[in-house]
Amino acid sequence: MTSPAQQLTIVMAQMTQMVGDLAANADAMRAVRARHGQADLILYPELQLIGYPPEDLVLKPALAERAAKLLADLAAETADGGPAMLVGSVEWEAGSLYNIVALLDGGRIVAKRRKHELPNYGTFDEKRIFAPGPLPDVVAWRGVKLGLPICEDGWLPTVCRHLAGQGAELLISVNGSPYEIDKDERRLTQVFAARVAETALPVIFLNRIGGQDEIVFDGCSFVLNGDGTTSHRLTDWEAEERVTHWTRRAGGWRCEPGAIAEWEAHPADIYSAMILSLRDYVERNRFPGVVLGLSGGIDSAICAAIAADALGPDKVWCVMLPSRFTGQASLDDAAGCAAMIGCRLDTIPIAPAVDAFDIMLSDSFADRNVDTTEENVQSRIRGVTLMALSNKFGPMLLTTGNKSEMSVGYATIYGDMAGGYNPLKDAYKMTVFALAKWRNETIPRLSRNPVTPVMPDTIITKPPSAELRPDQKDEDSLPPYADLDRMLHMLVEEEASVDDVVAKYGFERDAVARIERLLAIAEYKRRQAPPGVKLSTRNFGRDRRYPITHGFRTG
């Protein structure tokens, strides 16, 4: 009988993935294994073989069939005497689909464990597609009893306590945990620190990186020893293969200390989320670059900077689309911004199209005064123009509206909302100001455009304006953004009532009730908005799913 292992070398593969590209995902795992031939075990993130979140794609029988074959192939390759592999995949049984991890070693699948706790909140919708597995048994491997909680299994106490009761010596939690503001520290100091305190067992927390449509994964993997001390923290936002060394001692397994990465603080982490999500969205959908309208305002300026940081300035095409209401300062600011970033800037005046629409609609509008209709026509002309460039030359149209505007419908559907992706979709206006100031002083770690500053200071300091009528300012229609964002944060993120907002901040009740009403009636616009990276716990889309038609108001 083989004596129990006294030492282990475990590699944490913090890596990206491509949903549905099973062959590429398998090859990437093989490449990691080939680089660490002396390790005992290599860990990969949750559902790494098929990608996460697979959504309804995983309901295709062919996907699960292909995954089963590739998993068997990977298992067979471990007959070479090299490292074992812990691989996340799916399997069907008796008409039910399960989220699993499989331990591959010695040429076979040594064990499989099914995810017990299925998250069904916010981003997650796993009960729609997966069946819950039973409380998992420990896995005996090389004389070591492993507990294998899969993502949510480790976020709640039940599974880990059960595994500890079964004699587990080491908890290995593979995750697909999307980024949210402050979530990195919460995972470490609250969630998994609690699992360690409850079980007195060491924990390996492994997470992936990379963008997947509206969500982005930040990595931030770590190792906690049984006494609660942190022995490893992996880099945020970047792929890393961390080799960890373990020794069996009288008190159980202990990980030797390693590098403790410094995770990004605000607003650097938000900016990295925007860079990585946009980069993966554009490149994985095979766009040659992006095109966007550069107005001279702060939203389009920071979007241009993000795009250049994500893709390189040579893949960012900015277009100034002036009307008769566009001031010279905006023209100068747009030109200055493009020059600082180093991207292409073209100018296409929209006056001929505006005049044509005035003529076209003159009979129909003859008995009506000029109002927001004419403003929206200008915005839609810009949208049509930018989409024409996208269609003709191939770059994806980037849209630039922030969360404050999208909350209250301060955007033109089929106009400035037109586009394929929006980096600012979950960023309030005051966050945009903070990002712009930070980026003008800092070169992001993930940047492919290491220059600073990226916009004239006048873009940051001037009053925001859509410039669709003479002397227009956003605050003509909306409260000051500092006040608006406070209202919206409570109404959206906290689901607070009008009275709650008034009690906290002392705003006039009618003003808050108006914002609540605007929030409700703009839902139909948000349903037709492009995707954008999730930053908060209540982004529009995956997290906040409101009916378009409803009559409930708190104010």
Show which residues are catalytic: 46, 115, 151
Helix (H, G, I), strand (E, B) or coil at 159: helix
What is the rounded (10 degree) CA torsion for 333, 338, 344, 350?
A: -20
Query: HEC states along 269-323?
Result: HHHHHHHHHHHHHHHHCCCCCEEEECCCCHHHHHHHHHHHHHHCHHHEEEEECCC
Q: Which residues pair with 218 in a beta bridge?
A: 209
Omega prior to 453 cis, within 30 of 0: yes
Of the candidates 50, 116, 38, 47, the residue with the CA atom closest to the CA atom of residue 80 = 38
DSSP secondary structure letter of residue 126: G
Spatial CB neighbours of 415, under 8 Å, sequence gap ≥ 6: 376, 378, 379, 380, 381, 382, 383
- Name 25's Cβ contacts closer than 8 Å, sequence gap at least 6: 17, 18, 48, 49, 50, 51
Longest dimension (CA), the chain: 95
142 vs 9: CA distance, rounded Å = 12
Residue with structure tokens 């100068």? Answer: 332
Amino acid, res. 348: I
Give the separation between CA 108 and CA 552, rounded to whole angstroms.
57
**Pairing of β 222-224 and β 215-218:** unpaired
The whole-angstrom separation of Cα 172 and Cα 478 is 50
**Beta-bridge mates of residue 427:** none
Closest listed residue to residue 555, CA positions, set 503, 502, 507, 499: 499
Helix 298-311 to helix 328-341 angle (10° resolution) is 10
Pairing verdict, β 240-249 and 7-14: antiparallel
Distance CA(251)–CA(269), nearest Å, equals 38
Cα 252–chain centre separation: 37
Q: Where are the beta strands (DSSP E) in 467-536?
A: none
What is the chain's Cα-based Rg?
26
Classify 3 as helix, strand or coil.
Answer: coil
